[in-house]
Amino acid sequence: MNRLDPRQRLAAAAASLRSCLEQHQAAGIQVLPAPTRAAAADAPDAARAGVDETGAAVDLGQLREILGECRRCRLWQGRTNIVYGVGNPDADVLFVGEGPGRDEDLQGEPFVGRAGQLLTDIITKGMKLQRNDVYIANVVKCRPPQNRDPEPDEVASCEPFLVRQIELVKPRVIVALGKFAAQTLVRSAAPISRLRGQWHDYHGIRLMPTFHPAYLLRNPADKRLVWEDIKSVLRELGTVAG
Ligand code: URA
């Protein structure tokens, strides 16, 4: 995570943008090309992880304003609503999913469909918390067409907003829901069956991957493994699991 204060980060981002634009101008380029998939995948960690305009946001509301009516990648074309994130801005636990589905796109809130109901049950019945005790966000904030996985350049455009949400909420624990969120945050290609159940480090924050609630709807027998993961989270928080 970037340790510079927001003003330093903004100044660094402005300086690097100015130098980049000067180089383009010197080369006679007047229209900036859209990032290619390869360029996005190859971008250094600092560029992917928030050394940009998101670092200027001092709270979640300001970050939402910076996000605006986002057109940073092509996903805006199919969206009804941006699905930014909901919950307690001081939450101890931050859940991260992949991206909005149809219900979330229509309502503008993460995890409100069938999978969302299961996540709500995990929070309320399993963890004995309210949905608004935790914070819930996604890797990408707009629904991918036909619920396909987000493309690397879409993740590269959107991830700085997730990084800044995490920096601002400062949760004690992140729970990555499913393969996509887990692999993105942990920077690993390992299958979710190997990643889950183990603690990972996300820039000093404990991160527990677990199965996605949508997967659990299709494979209810694996709910017991998610319960094991949630019990580890509760132990980490010092809460006794029932
Ligand atoms: N699946 C996700 O990963 N996120 C949502 O918000 C809804 C379904």
The number of C-alpha atoms within 13 Å of 140 and in the hemisphere containing its C-beta is: 29
Q: What confidence score (pLDDT) does residue 33 get?
A: 38
Which of 10 and 106 is assigned the larger pLDDT? 106
Residues 168/63, Cβ–Cβ less than 8 Å: yes
- Out of 83, 84, 98, mutate this one to test ligand 1's pocket (max ligand atoms within 8 Å of CB): namely 98
Going by alpha carbons, the residue nearest to atom 7 of ligand 1 is: 111
Binned at pLDDT 50, 70 and 90, residue 21 comes out as: very low
Q: What is the average pLDDT value for the chain, to the nearest integer?
A: 86
Residues 134/89, Cβ–Cβ less than 8 Å: no
Does 47 score more than 90 pLDDT? no
Residues 148/140, Cβ–Cβ less than 8 Å: no
CA distance 58 to 226: 34
DSSP letter, residue 217: H
Global pTM value? 0.80
Binned at pLDDT 50, 70 and 90, residue 61 comes out as: very high
Mean pLDDT score, 28-55: 48
Pairing of strands 205-210, 200-202: antiparallel
Atom of ligand 1 nearest to the CA of 103: 7
CATH topology (fold) of 56-237: Uracil-DNA Glycosylase, subunit E (3.40.470)
Mean pLDDT score, 117-127: 98
Residues 87/136, Cβ–Cβ less than 8 Å: yes
- Out of 104, 122, 165, mutate this one to test ligand 1's pocket (max ligand atoms within 8 Å of CB): namely 104
Does 137 score more than 70 pLDDT? yes
Q: At what angle do helices 60-67 and 152-169 cross, to 10 degrees?
A: 160
User: How far apart are the CA of 19 and the centre of ligand 1, in A?
Assistant: 38
Q: What confidence score (pLDDT) does residue 240 get?
A: 67
C-alpha dist (Å) from residue 56 to 10, 70, 164, 227: 6, 17, 9, 38
Mean pLDDT score, 7-13: 46
Burial of 213 (0-12, 13-18, 19+ CB in 10 A): buried
User: How far apart are the CA of 197 and the centre of ligand 1, in A?
Assistant: 20
pLDDT tens-digit series, residues 173-214:
999 999 999 999 999 999 999 999 999 999 999 999 999 999
Does 233 score more than 70 pLDDT? yes
User: How far apart are the CA of 100 and the centre of ligand 1, in A?
Assistant: 5
The residue type found at 196 is R
Q: What confidence score (pLDDT) does residue 51 get?
A: 54
CA distance 232 to 82: 32
User: How far apart are the CA of 153 and the centre of ligand 1, in A?
Assistant: 19
The residue type found at 120 is T
pLDDT tens-digit series, residues 93-109:
999 999 999 999 999 99
Residues 163/112, Cβ–Cβ less than 8 Å: no
User: How far apart are the CA of 111 and the centre of ligand 1, in A?
Assistant: 5
Structure-token pair, residue 161: 């907003």
Mean pLDDT score, 117-137: 98
Going by alpha carbons, the residue nearest to atom 6 of ligand 1 is: 110
Binned at pLDDT 50, 70 and 90, residue 52 comes out as: confident
- Enumerate the domain spans of the chain: 56-237
Q: What confidence score (pLDDT) does residue 10 get?
A: 52
The set of residues, in sequence order, having a beta carbon less than 8 Å from that of 193 and lying 6+ positions away, is none
User: How far apart are the CA of 2 and the centre of ligand 1, in A?
Assistant: 27
Does 87 score more than 60 pLDDT? yes
Structure-token pair, residue 190: 């390992």
Kindly list the protein residues whose Cβ atom lies closer than 6 A to any atom of ligand 1.
97-101, 104, 110-111, 115-116, 138, 214
The set of residues, in sequence order, having a beta carbon less than 8 Å from that of 121 and lying 6+ positions away, is none
Binned at pLDDT 50, 70 and 90, residue 16 comes out as: very low
Radius of gyration for the chain, computed over Cα atoms and rounded to the nearest angstrom: 18
